[in-house]
């Protein structure tokens, strides 16, 4: 069984340089928890997208990483929070190709497909919090849309 | 040395402190030479440490004389900035943290304060207190100047290294007549990808390249922004008449790109640099055949 040592962290997201830290931390934490190479890469990519959203759209914020377990399965939970303008239309933001920042518009929707559990809370004016979780093996509960 | 002839007649407390620092700079420097900061930095001889201490004391006297004890940008500090930076750097190299260096600087105050009290003997307690406060503020500012100088040196080093990284990380390699390759390494943030695009487009012109290979073996994460940078580079190269091939896509990256929903359909991709080179050579009409009598060559 893998220990969760070195997983817990609160990393600020204020500049491009901080994105590098976020990616490196997620990669190390995922490797430490026993994620395979493909799952590590997926999770790091999702973290990169979400951290960039926090920076570009939320005006900077915070990523919290934590080690979660359920039914003997290890997982890594990442929470990205900002106090920016929030997302006025969540459904549209999650759809592919929609962008408000000049990007490809694949970030939020793409990140959702790269992780097992995905939750986003946002209201205009009160910031955005995105919480994603991936499990070392299969997700412990069958997903509704699987 | 004459007995003190102060009497507290000299203008403001700052000017009084300035006068004291000038009169007693030799003694102050002697005391400082015994403090860890000077003792450990100037190891060759004690005289050297005393000399350095005198320079600092004179600078402090100049600053106090201009009534700017709270101003780290005071002209008087200009001359000692470099020396303070050198001393700070020497202590850092010896393994001290910034906090420890700072407290060593703080330790320079008590000996001077003791001298001040002795020097102004007979002055009214109120006046003595004012002078003592001015001296403390001045020494605090000295500490600030030293830390500022050290920080700006670190900042300058970081900036230099970042520039170096920009240059180092983007060599353009000519693989064949008309084929250039750029091995991309590390994080492709906006600044780096801009440099990559520029150097690649320049190489396309210089080398009359018809094919440009972007190898991303050394890029750990391909997210939508990196993909966007790649596609922009490919589109720009196409405008100049060169076809781009993206190579070095590892299995984990390939799966991630698919899940992310990125459409790289417009970009020619190959698994490895060798495959990409093979493709380009084939397109150029140069085929490599095995066991050619005089080695593989170009027709």
A132 pLDDT exceeds 80? Answer: yes
Using CA coordinates, name the residue in chain A closest to B253: A41
Domain that holds residue A98: 9-135
Domain B173-284's class? alpha beta
CATH number of the CATH domain containing A92: 3.30.565.10
Exposed, middle or buried, A43 (CB in 10 Å: 0-12/13-18/19+)? Answer: buried
Task: Give A18-74 pLDDT, tens digit per residue.
Answer: 888 899 999 999 999 989 899 999 999 999 999 998 998 888 899 999 999 888 888
If you average pLDDT over residues B116-129, what whole number do you get? 86
B8 pLDDT exceeds 50? Answer: no
Of A38, A103, A106, the CB nearest to B255: A38
Between residues 41 and 100 of chain B, which touch chain A (CB distance below 8 Å)? Answer: none
**Residues of chain A neighbouring B223 (CB-CB closer than 8 A):** 45, 48-49, 52, 107
Q: How many CB atoms lie within 10 A of CB B284?
A: 16
**Residues of chain B neighbouring A20 (CB-CB closer than 8 A):** 187
Assigned domain for A144 exists: no
Assigned domain for A66 exists: yes
Percentages (nearest 5) of helix, strand, coil residues in chain B = 60, 10, 30
Q: CA A11, CA A19: separation in Å to the nearest integer?
A: 9
Assigned domain for A26 exists: yes
Q: What angle do CA B76, B78, B79 make, to 5 degrees?
A: 90
Token code pair at residue A41: 């890469």
CA distance A38 to chain B (A): 5
Assigned domain for A141 exists: no
Contact B66, B74 (CB under 8 A): yes
Q: What H or E segment, with its residue span, contains residue A69?
A: strand A61-70
Size of interface A-B (CB pairs under 8 A): 67
Assigned domain for A142 exists: no
pTM, two decimal places = 0.66
CA distance B249 to chain A (A): 12
Contact B243, B268 (CB under 8 A): yes
CA distance B38 to chain A (A): 37
What is the CA B277 to chain-centroid distance, rounded?
39
Assigned domain for A140 exists: no
Fold held by B13-163: Globin-like (1.10.490)
Domain total of chain A? 1
B292 pLDDT exceeds 70? Answer: no
How high is the pLDDT of residue B3?
A: 41
Longest distance between any two alpha carbons in chain B, whole Å:
105
If you average pLDDT over residues A75-104, what whole number do you get? 81
Q: What angle do CA B127, B129, B134 make, to 5 degrees?
A: 95
Q: Report the complex ipTM.
A: 0.77
Domain boundaries, chain B: 13-163, 173-284
Q: CA A146, CA B45: separation in Å to the nearest integer?
A: 78
Judged by a CB distance cut-off of 8 A, whether residue B299 touches chain A is: no
Q: Please answer yes or no on whether B224 and A103 come within 8 Å at the CB atom.
A: yes
Judged by a CB distance cut-off of 8 A, whether residue B155 touches chain A is: no
How high is the pLDDT of residue B9?
A: 53
pLDDT-above-90 percentage for chain A: 40
B168 pLDDT exceeds 70? Answer: no
B192 pLDDT exceeds 80? Answer: no
């Amino acid at each position: 069984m893998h220990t969760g040592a070195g997983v817990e962290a609160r990393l600020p997201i204020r500049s491009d340089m901080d994105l590098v830290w976020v990616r490196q931390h997620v990669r190390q934490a995922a490797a430490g928890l026993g994620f395979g190479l493909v799952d590590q890469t997926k999770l790091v990519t999702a973290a990169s997208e979400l951290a960039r959203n926090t920076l570009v759209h939320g005006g900077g914020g915070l990523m919290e990483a934590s080690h979660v377990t359920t039914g003997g399965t290890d997982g890594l939970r990442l929470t990205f929070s900002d106090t920016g303008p929030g997302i006025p239309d969540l459904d549209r933001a999650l759809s592919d190709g929609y962008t408000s920042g000049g990007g490809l518009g694949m970030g939020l929707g793409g990140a959702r497909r790269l992780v097992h559990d995905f939750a986003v809370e946002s209201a205009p004016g009160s910031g955005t919090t995105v919480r994603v979780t991936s499990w070392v093996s299969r997700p412990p509960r069958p997903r509704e849309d699987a | 040395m004459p007995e003190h002839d102060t009497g507290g007649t000299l203008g403001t407390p700052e000017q009084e402190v300035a006068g004291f620092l000038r009169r007693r700079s030799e003694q102050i420097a002697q005391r400082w030479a015994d403090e860890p900061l000077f003792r450990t930095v100037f190891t060759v001889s004690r005289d050297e440490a005393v000399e350095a201490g005198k320079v600092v004391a004179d600078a402090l006297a100049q600053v106090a004389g201009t009534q700017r004890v709270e101003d780290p940008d005071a002209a008087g500090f200009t001359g000692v900035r470099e020396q303070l930076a050198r001393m700070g750097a020497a202590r850092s190299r010896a393994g001290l943290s910034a906090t420890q260096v700072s407290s060593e600087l703080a330790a320079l105050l008590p000996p001077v304060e003791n001298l001040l009290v002795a020097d102004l003997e007979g002055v009214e307690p109120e006046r003595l207190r004012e002078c003592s406060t001015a001296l403390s503020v001045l020494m605090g500012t000295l500490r600030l100047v030293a830390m500022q100088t050290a920080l700006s040196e670190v900042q300058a080093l970081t900036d230099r290294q970042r520039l170096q990284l920009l240059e180092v990380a983007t060599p353009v390699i000519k693989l064949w007549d008309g084929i250039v390759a750029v091995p991309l390494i590390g994080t492709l943030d906006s600044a780096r990808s801009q440099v990559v695009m520029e150097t690649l487009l320049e190489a396309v012109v210089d080398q009359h390249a018809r094919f440009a290979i972007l190898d991303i073996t050394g890029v750990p994460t391909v997210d939508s922004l990196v993909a966007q940078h790649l596609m922009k580079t490919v589109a720009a190269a196409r405008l100049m008449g060169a076809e781009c091939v993206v190579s070095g896509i590892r299995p984990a990256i390939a799966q991630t790109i698919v899940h992310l929903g990125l459409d790289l359909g417009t970009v020619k991709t190959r698994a490895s640099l060798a495959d990409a080179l093979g493709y380009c050579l084939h397109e150029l009409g140069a085929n490599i055949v095995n066991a050619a009598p005089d080695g593989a060559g170009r027709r």
